A and B are shown apart, each in its own frame.
Chain A
Amino acid sequence: MSLTLEQVHRIAHLARIEVSASEALSTQGHLNGIFQLIEQMQAVDTTGVEPMAHAQDLAQRLRDDVVSESDRRAAFLAVAPETEAGLYLVPKVIE
């Protein structure tokens, strides 16, 4: 499998990454290199091998359901570009 230039632009758009025409070309090369690697791996017979969700063979640790975080809104708002009435302001997103 190899990616078309158009697919590279689409992936870049989904990831909200701006790529120029020349960057798209080099990115296409990089990504296709990765796909070749994946193809090689997929050629390995994995019959009977359980799919791996995480590199460490451990179980998720759980925490008790208690409120441990206090209100630090003032500190968090202070580092935001724009705020009002306790809200973070962002460019209008409604269509």
Chain B
Amino acid sequence: MNQWEVVIGIETHAQLATVSKIFSGASTAFGAEPNTQACAVDLALPGVLPVLNRQAVECAIRFGLAIDAEVARKSVFARKNYFYPDLPKGYQISQMDLPVVVGGQIAVQVGQGDKAYEKVVHLTRAHLEEDAGKSLHEDFHGKSGIDLNRAGTPLLEIVTEPDMRSSDEAVAYAKALHALVQWIGICDGNMQEGSFRCDANVSVRPKGQAEYGTRREIKNLNSFRFLKEAIDFEVQWQINEIEEGRRIQQATVLFDPDSGETRMMRSKEDAHDYRYFPDPDLLPLIISEEWIDRVRGGLPELPVHKRARFVSEFGLSVYDATTLTASQEMAAFFEATVAVAGQSHAKPCANWVMVDLAARLNKEGQEIATSPVSAQQLGGLILRIADNTISNNIAKKVFEALWNGEGATADEIIEKQGLKQITDTGAIEALVDAVLAANAANVAEFRAGKEKAFNALVGQVMKAAKGKANPQQVNDLLKKKLAD
């Protein structure tokens, strides 16, 4: 595998968060009875004309600004011609020569720990288009059933340069894009419902070769796991083909999740056969400076900026900052926690949100937005760890109590359940003395050089203190007494 370089470009269809279709006033709500949301325009009945949805355009502008791209002041809709029963007009309205968004880039974090690195993925373009309907091939007496509810749903097709060099980079990009479109509120990101689907263009070339190899396009990957599996399989398949002396033919392939393999799809008409031409039913889309400024003013702080701020302002690692900016909700929760616990305790706040809270939410299948423990409660809990009122271990108990609604605040639970840490040196000393007297064997072992015996003694003291002794004080006192 060493002498081969993998080249990947990704095209994503993001369904835009509008209530009506891109060129008609029919609803885009998911899950309706077949054809109840397909109006005369969607059905392409004679005499109908498309009228562009302002919100769909605004979504495209938001996206363009969020990735630092050029938002085209003038873009043009074109007809992409092909025949398929779920496309009643015989063409899809899309954009070709003049797309609404040009260029831009997304910086993504790839990998974890020491091997983590940042990768900048450049975008070629993003354009507005309409979705097609759905063909159902189950048994209708040898016929296919057509549901046109999805026909005319607004999509933003987002196309990258062939910048990615591994399936990990491809997945990192797809995840970052998925988070971004939700962050800026232009797509609900629901992959099961098809709101976010990826196509991967994959080729391989000998390392050091300037030209790209022949690519094959894997269509309609609707999960990150499938994206990775499909690319990994495809790469290995292409390398094997070339090493066995065969040439790669440009093709469109489908991924079969059951077999984990990619296979050739029906021979689709080639790009030049789509016979694109400007749609005479639609005038050029003109986007004013004022509109762009207004949209820019309404954008939230972007994940890339928030991430950088978490690193510089709170001293978090890039990895932690990336995790905490995975969604607006997560970032907001973290910031609200820090607001209570104080900026100097941002690191424990990060750990509690990313580790303890995330694990508990995950276990219960809950979202952070509806967390039973609020950011204010968590911040209050972290304050009590910071000022030594409770130890980390006791804090986990308090967290559990907060989760179960046993009290409104950490302070209330600590007070009510008597969890306050024993920091009185005299009291701890008494406990230590009692434990030393009762565990002569451990003491002897420790003096004989067995470090483990020390931990056993710490455990005994903590047990005697019902976990409430300050661990650091216990350690210090034990060491002092044993050294005497």
Contacts and interface: CB of A to CB of B under 8 A. Distances in A.
Contact of B52 (A16, A63, A66): A63
Contact of A59 (B20, B26, B285): B285
Q: A-side binding surface: helix, strand, loop or mixed? A: loop
Interface in B1-55: 18-20, 24-27, 33-40, 43, 45, 51-55
Given A54-B283, A88-B35, A91-B144, A65 B135 contact: no
B131 to A, nearest CB: 16
B53 to A, nearest CB: 5
Interface residues on A, range: 35 or more
A76 B18 contact: no
A58 interface: yes
Nearest to A86: B34
Interface string A52-87: 011110111111111111011100110000101111
Interface string B59-70: 000000000000
B286 A60 contact: yes
Contacts of A55: 280
Interface residues of B, number: 53
Contacts of B266: 95
B324 interface: no
Contact of A87 (B40, B57, B145, B284): B145
A90 B87 CA distance: 12
B135 A93 contact: yes
B401 interface: no
Interface string A20-57: 00000000000000000000000000000000011110
Given A61-B51, A86-B34, 20 more contacts: A54-B283, A58-B283, A59-B285, A60-B77, A60-B284, A63-B53, A65-B53, A71-B37, A72-B40, A73-B33, A84-B140, A86-B36, A87-B34, A88-B35, A88-B146, A89-B140, A92-B142, A92-B144, A93-B85, A95-B266
Going nearest first, the 7 A-B pairs with the smallest beta carbon separation are A68-B25, A87-B145, A65-B55, A59-B286, A69-B39, A62-B54, A86-B34
